[in-house]
């Protein structure tokens, strides 16, 4: 099982004081999370004001800060909320040199174009599917087997629906004989249930302050490393 540490996401310091924002903070968290068992990282690069950006200077700075202290791969986000203009998004990502991979939410407008653009410049793709419909769209695109991994993302749904929604998405991926690895995770209330379901299925997973602020017992996590350590304990 690969465990990815999702270090910051869209979280702000008002949500948790330990959210890493600057390259130096991401670097420190990468060291701690790697020691706790993480073997990949996902970050949302920010500018000095803490705003999410896709500009190469900020993306490369964030990715390279982690690379400087870890041999594990680093992916970044391409979320439409960061840059709403598709032409500008593609222009920016075409100049990246730091990230190993980037996540693309299949449900967003222009997602397939973004995937093609990333592949065209040698950045590996994590294709995020939130529903059976997303999985079907990825299957029709003909690009599923060219992805680094498919993210089965079980965030915006009731906790009781986690296993059923996961079943539906995995069934589509099974039907097309997907070769790419799968990484399943949730968000907030579904984070730990989705992770435990991933462990039962034997697929990769992730954890970090992007996804959840509390440990499995409901107490507030002090930092990303504590979340990674808790996930590793569940895996054992």
pLDDT at 205: 98
pLDDT at 193: 98
Four-residue CA torsion sign, 28, 33, 34, 39: negative
Give yes or no for a contact between 2 and 181, defined as CB atoms under 8 angstroms apart.
yes
Distance CA(190)–CA(165), nearest Å, equals 12
pTM of the model: 0.97
Q: What's the CATH superfamily of 3-235?
A: Aldolase class I (3.20.20.70)
Q: Which helix (H) or strand (E) holds 125?
A: strand 124-129
Q: What is the DSSP string of 68-96?
A: TT-SS-EEEE--TTT---HHHHHHHHTT-
Residues in the chain: 236
Distance CA(141)–CA(139), nearest Å, equals 5
Dihedral in degrees, nearest 10, Cα atoms 136, 140, 145, 147: -70
pLDDT at 41: 98
Q: pLDDT tens, position by position, for the chain (236 residues)?
A: 999 999 999 999 999 999 999 999 999 999 999 999 999 999 999 999 999 999 999 999 999 999 999 999 999 999 999 999 999 999 999 999 999 999 999 999 999 999 999 999 999 999 999 999 999 999 999 999 999 999 999 998 999 999 999 999 999 999 999 999 999 999 999 999 999 999 999 999 999 999 999 999 999 999 999 999 999 999 99
pLDDT at 84: 93
Give yes or no for a contact between 65 and 27, defined as CB atoms under 8 angstroms apart.
yes
pLDDT at 68: 97
pLDDT at 133: 97
DSSP β-ladder status, 149-154 and 124-129: parallel
Q: How many helices (H) and strands (E) does the chain have?
A: 8, 8
Structure tokens at 173: 């991926």
């Amino acid at each position: 099982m690969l465990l990815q540490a999702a270090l910051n996401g869209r979280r702000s310091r008002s949500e948790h004081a330990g959210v890493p924002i600057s390259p130096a903070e991401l670097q420190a968290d990468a060291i701690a999370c790697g020691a706790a068992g993480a073997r990949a990282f996902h970050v949302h690069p920010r500018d000095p004001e803490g705003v999410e950006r896709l500009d190469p200077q900020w993306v490369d700075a964030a990715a390279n800060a982690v690379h400087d202290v870890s041999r594990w791969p680093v992916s970044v986000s391409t979320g439409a909320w960061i840059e709403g203009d598709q032409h500008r998004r593609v222009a920016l990502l075409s100049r990246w040199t730091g990230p190993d991979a980037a996540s693309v939410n299949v449900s967003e407008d222009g997602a397939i174009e973004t995937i093609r653009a990333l592949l065209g410049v040698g950045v590996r793709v994590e294709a995020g599917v939130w529903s059976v419909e997303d999985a079907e769209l990825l299957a029709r695109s003909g690009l599923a087997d060219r992805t680094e991994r498919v993210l089965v993302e079980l965030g915006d749904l009731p906790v009781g629906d986690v296993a059923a929604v996961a079943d539906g998405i995995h069934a589509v991926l099974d039907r097309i004989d997907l070769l790419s690895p799968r990484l399943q995770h949730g968000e907030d209330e579904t984070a730990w249930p989705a992770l435990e379901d991933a462990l039962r299925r034997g697929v990769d997973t992730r954890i970090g302050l992007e996804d959840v602020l509390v440990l499995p017992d409901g107490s507030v996590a002090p930092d990303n490393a504590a979340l990674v350590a808790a996930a590793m304990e569940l895996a054992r």
